[in-house]
Amino acid sequence: LAVAAGDDIFFHRSAVKVLLDPVSGALLGVARWPWREGEDWALWIAEWPALRLFISDLCTDLVGAVPLVNAARLEKVAHQGDAFHERAWWTEKVFEPPSRREHYRAQGALLTWDGATRVKGPGRRVSAATVEAAEARRARAEEDFYDAVRLEELFLCLLESLSPEGKLWSDARVEDLLAQFAREAGALPEKFATLIRRHVHRHRARWCAHRVLWDHIPVTLHPDVSATRADVLAAVVALRWACQRESRATEWSEARAAQQEQERLRAQLETWCSNVAEVAAWVTSLIEHPRRSSSLVEAFNSRLRVLQMVHRNVSDHLLALVALAWNLSPRQEGKRRGPSPYARLGIDFADDTRPWHQILLQQMDAN
């Protein structure tokens, strides 16, 4: 496994560490673990020598674990900030304060309008200039909120598999987008702009870390070709876009141009690379299933909440049994609908023709 996602959940007020494969959904490790330091998560991550990307939220123990693992490895592990928790951070820290301010100013503007337009009642009528000033303050607060939304949309580009232009990410393109982000953050009030800039700058290496997986796509070049593996990956991505343009074309000329581009790219790729189909499968997987979120841990957490309500006491053995049932149960709905997580990983005994407990009993008898 080259990528894993991890997080702590709390079960009967006891910390439970969860490590899983975000692609298949298979749980790789579940255990009560009361300690929450970087060294603890480093022990869990170090169990997987082929790991190249670790996805988690940005708590200090998780942030501190990856450098400890990398200190003992030649092949470094990249740390990807979790999209699920980042969206929650933006909602709580960035969107809610200006939303409350806009609501407060809207209430003040309504009172001002009422004071300017009421027919009856004591006191002087509010002047038009006061009404305009109150409405301007409300409008400014509303615009601050939408500026924050546009800024989040720009930030989320870093979590996408491809750049906004639909091409492979490069260090220069990441830096350009971060610089654009810093400039556009200046449109917000200084308090919010400083908070956002500090957060994004502190973890700048963790927003687009998922692109390290592109470096591990196996590309076999033909001898004596001048093309590089980067050229092959770029051509495969361009071929994918050409196929989409053909399927969405409404004019014959557009569809024909897309077909001609596909023919040219396929001929080029056959000249450059001997495992084009394998590379294309990897590219499709990374684009359609970006490795950027540990939200599946929260899905397992919701399963444990039901268990917590049914059983007064849940032993470690029962916890492990629930994890095994999770790994051996086919999915009936959702984007992972179909084979069980273990079957997706190709584990030989994890077929989907029998209930999970029958598979377990057979393995117990075999041992």
| Count of Cβ atoms closer than 10 Å to residue 187 Cβ | 14
pLDDT at 197: 93
Q: How far apart are CA 256 and CA 258, in angstroms?
A: 5
Dump the DSSP string for 332-344: -SSTT-BS-HHHH
Q: How far apart are CA 43 and CA 34, in angstroms?
A: 14
- The one-letter amino acid at 291: R
* Angle of CA points 289, 342, 311, to nearest 5°: 105
Distance of CA 328 to the CA centre of its chain: 25
Give residue for tokens 């906004």.
164
Say if residues 241 and 204 touch (Cβ distance below 8 Å): no
Q: How far apart are CA 162 and CA 173, in angstroms?
A: 11
| Count of Cβ atoms closer than 10 Å to residue 61 Cβ | 16
pLDDT at 123: 63
Say if residues 150 and 162 touch (Cβ distance below 8 Å): no
Give residue for tokens 């359609």.
288
Q: How far apart are CA 179 and CA 173, in angstroms?
A: 10
pLDDT at 121: 65
As a 3-state breakdown, the chain gives helix, strand, coil percent values, each rounded to 5, of: 60, 10, 30
| Count of Cβ atoms closer than 10 Å to residue 339 Cβ | 16
pLDDT at 114: 84
* Angle of CA points 319, 324, 326, to nearest 5°: 95
Residues in the chain: 367
Q: How far apart are CA 25 and CA 316, in angstroms?
A: 21
Q: What is the pLDDT along the chain (367 residues), one digit of tens a residue?
A: 899 999 998 877 788 899 999 988 999 999 989 888 999 999 999 999 999 999 999 999 999 999 999 998 888 999 999 999 999 999 999 999 989 999 999 999 998 888 888 766 666 678 889 999 999 999 999 999 999 999 999 999 999 999 999 999 999 999 999 999 999 999 889 988 999 999 999 999 999 999 999 999 999 999 989 999 999 999 999 999 999 999 999 999 999 999 999 999 999 999 999 999 999 999 999 998 889 988 888 888 888 888 777 777 778 888 888 898 899 988 888 778 888 899 888 887 877 778 888 888 888 887 7
Could you tell me which residues come within 8 angstroms of residue 329 by beta carbon, excluding any fewer than 6 positions away? Answer: 340, 356
32-53 CB burial, b ≥16 within 10 A, e <16: ebeeeebebbbebbeebeebbb
Tokens of 66: 């990856």
